[in-house]
Amino acid sequence: MQSSQTKVSVIIVNYNGISYLETCLRSVLAQNLPDFEVILVDNKSSDGSLEYVRRMFPDLLVVANEKNLGYTGGINSGISHAKGRYFAPLNVDTEVEKNWLGAMVEFMDANPDAGAVTPKSLLYRDRGKVGVMGLNMHITGLGFVRGLNRQDSDLPKEPFQVASVSGCSFLIRREIVELMGGLNEDNFMYYDDVDLSWVVNMMGYRIYCVPQSVVYHEYELKMTPQKIFWLEYGRANAILCYLKPPTLVALLPFLMLTETLIMGYCVIRGPRYVWAKLRAWFSIASNMRSLLRRRRQVQKLRELSDFQLIRRFKLNYEWGQVLRIVK
């Protein structure tokens, strides 16, 4: 990775998102922050996205991957070309307000304890309602959306601490990502935001939501077998990578309860969901060598004990979201 004086590198990963590209890119390019670059990473789209971007935005830096590397792999390939002191990954199915980037940068510049920040995300098609304002993390690794479907006017207007960024948009310090060795590419899709936040918290940094920064995101809370697989694979991967054995033993009753709840949900939804859940654990077992290698790498970055880390997480489940998904 190269050093430079550029303030921020915005990294947008696209896979067959041609219908969103113009709105997303034009809103990003209209930012009121004077010093930033935009990198569009295309993960081998088949819908003409790459040709469209090159025709409509000829001056844009485009990274064309030869295969679909997933979301984290796409971000990492963008980072390899980035010059910024901050990285700002952004989903393509978004539109951002003009101070989206400036508000996050201003907060990070003023708060050296902040390792990463995430904006207020409003629903793309109902812009008075919140999609996510950061995530709560459960002690068993579950990530729960903060503020989902609540009225924007009812929620905090000043920055506040959260356990996890939202993967649709966040800002992170370059040096943190470099120490991490990039984002964890085991998370091909989903759980990437929670995984990243585990490490940022372990390193002793804090994570904040900055409501002055606003993004509109095409978001709906729903589950599919594919999503269950990647969420459960990522969660198991994180628990085994980031917690020490005595902590795993102490948390065993809570872990077993979470496993029971998730498997119960999968049974209700049908065999494809059950198989997705089981396949996540089979995949962890088959990928154990890579998992242990990552564990050795990230444990060297630890600044917080497991006790200090777990205190930033939640003991209670977000039953409202659980019930919404079950329906």
| DSSP secondary structure, 204-236, as one string | T-EEEEEEEEEEEE-------HHHHHHHHHHHH
Local confidence band at 3 (pLDDT 50, 70, 90 cut-offs) = very low
The answer on pLDDT for 34 being more than 50 is: yes
Buried-exposed string 198-229: b where 16+ CB fall within 10 A, e elsewhere: bbbbbbebbbbbbbbbbbbbbbeeeeebeebb
Average pLDDT over residues 65-92: 96
The answer on pLDDT for 2 being more than 50 is: no
Does the 93-327 domain belong in CATH 3.90.550.10? yes
Give pLDDT, residue 327.
60
C-alpha radius of gyration, the chain, whole number: 19
Q: What is the pLDDT of residues 237-281, one digit of tens each?
A: 999 999 999 999 999 999 999 999 999 999 999 999 999 999 999
The answer on pLDDT for 318 being more than 90 is: no
What's the CA gap between 316 and 139, in Å, rounded?
A: 9
Local confidence band at 1 (pLDDT 50, 70, 90 cut-offs) = very low
Residues above pLDDT 90, as percent of the chain? 91
Local confidence band at 322 (pLDDT 50, 70, 90 cut-offs) = confident
What's the CA gap between 62 and 78, in Å, rounded?
A: 9
Q: Do domains 1-92 and 93-327 have the same CATH topology?
A: yes
Which backbone phi and psi does 86 adopt, to 5 degrees? Answer: -125, 150
Give pLDDT, residue 5.
64
Mean pLDDT value across the chain: 94
Q: What is the pLDDT of residues 87-109, one digit of tens each?
A: 999 999 999 999 999 999 999 99
Choose the weakest-confidence range: 22-26, 208-212, 323-327: 323-327
Give pLDDT, residue 326.
64
The structural domains of the chain, with segments of one domain joined by +, span: 1-92, 93-327
Q: What is the pLDDT of residues 167-178, one digit of tens each?
A: 999 999 999 999
CATH code at 1-92: 3.90.550.10
Average pLDDT over residues 146-154: 90
Give pLDDT, residue 170.
98
